[in-house]
Structure 1
Amino acid sequence: MKALVTGGSGALGRAMCETLAAAGHEVWVHANANIERAQEVVQRIAAAGGVARAVAFDVTDADATLAAVQRMLADGPIQILINNAGIHDDAPMAGMTQQQWRRVIDVSLNGFFNVTQPLLMPMIRTRWGRIVNIASVSGVTGNRGQTNYAAAKAGLIGATKSLSLELASRHITVNAVAPGIIASPMIEEAFPPQRIKEIVPAGRVGEPDEVAQMVAYLVSDAAAYVTGQVLSINGGLA
């Protein structure tokens, strides 16, 4: 199966790309602008015996996204889609700018639409597909300083549930994964180890590979009867 992972060049995206490739899927590794980062992931996958290709486009640019998707579809339908692209620009809402609000919403929600919509009919024709949207614990419980991010991820959860109803009869599942605090250089700076122990019942951050394994389950045949769900992976945080 061909798979597309948006935001595939980041820490979490890379883990998902490598896990999907190890399961035998041909993976498109997406980056926003820096295609070199996506190519590095492709090289790692190739070194491990997998098959992958790099692609770069801005998910908020509908025309550029459509053009990129059409080029990818020229090689056949993409039947696994991981909507992982997202950003955060945190601020208390009282001090939040319109740009902060719009940009975060644009990437997570409009980006989801721009990538997913043109892939649906080719996927429907095959009568098999897996769509996994990467949400966040913030979209489930909320988080101070992240009204824009929480709104975007909560909207993605609503879209997941609605789209799952539209596609279930076509043997296409649509689910969301809501990670908590997952290891990355940014997280290490923001959350000292003692703070993690205080707020996460499991006492540690999650690993990108743990999220990737959950995604791997959702795109497998074992999860054929799982759709419209939000699977949290947060160490008991919520």
Structure 2
Amino acid sequence: MSSSDAEDAAVAENAAAQGRTHGQAWPERQTGPVVRRRGQVQPSTTDQRLLDTRGPSDWVHQDPWRVMRIQSEFVEGFGSLAELGPAVSVFGSARTQPGSPDYETGVGIGRALAEAGFGVITGGGPGSMEAANRGAVEGGGVSVGLGIELPFEQGLNPYVDIGVNFRYFFVRKTMFVKYASGFIVLPGGFGTLDELFEALTLVQTRKVTRFPIVLFGTSYWQGLIDWVRHTVVDGGKASAIDLELLHLTDDVDEAVALMTKEAAT
């Protein structure tokens, strides 16, 4: 008999003895708040199972372990951003090229927000996200990047002061809303639209209040506004008042003024 087998046998005998001590005919063991009897008695302690490196590792891919990962991402995100102060989330395409008009607009918005006393939160990637982070740094503000694990790795852009990488989109999107006073949305694709309508739904359903959403770039966003007005609202799928939740502008000062106004209320 190996030393491990001998230890397991001793544990089982001890459990059986406990049962006999109490006038019972079955083994019994207390493991934390749980009492195990008969065939449910485990031959090892919790500490032994924790420290034993043997055994299968498929548990790291199972849902209970994923819950712990999700929890850890919330804790890490909350802990990293809790002392950020007033901030605005800026969204836009990762495909925006440096030097393009949209990129320069992002830099200007980031700089203006920083000069108005706001931190700037982006997805931390290239394109418009990099532009807004760059503007925040140039304006002397705090530049935050909330990255996401993707099949095509982008990494955080070099203008991020505080960077947090996430596995799960829904945890990341919570951080965008929880630590921001509002959203400024630059021209972008599916990811930008996802973040826009997520925020819009939260405001419409009053899950968040006093939360301005600015669509920056009339020529880019006007078609979307027209579709919402003439198809969604006219078709009875939304109320006309819901359109008032969106502010369309081409003016940096107006966009920042909307954020400042709401932050002061």
TM-score, normalised via structure 2 length: 0.42
Under a length normalisation based on structure 1, what TM-score does the superposition of the two structures give?
0.45
More contact order relative to length (CA 8 Å, sep ≥ 6): 1
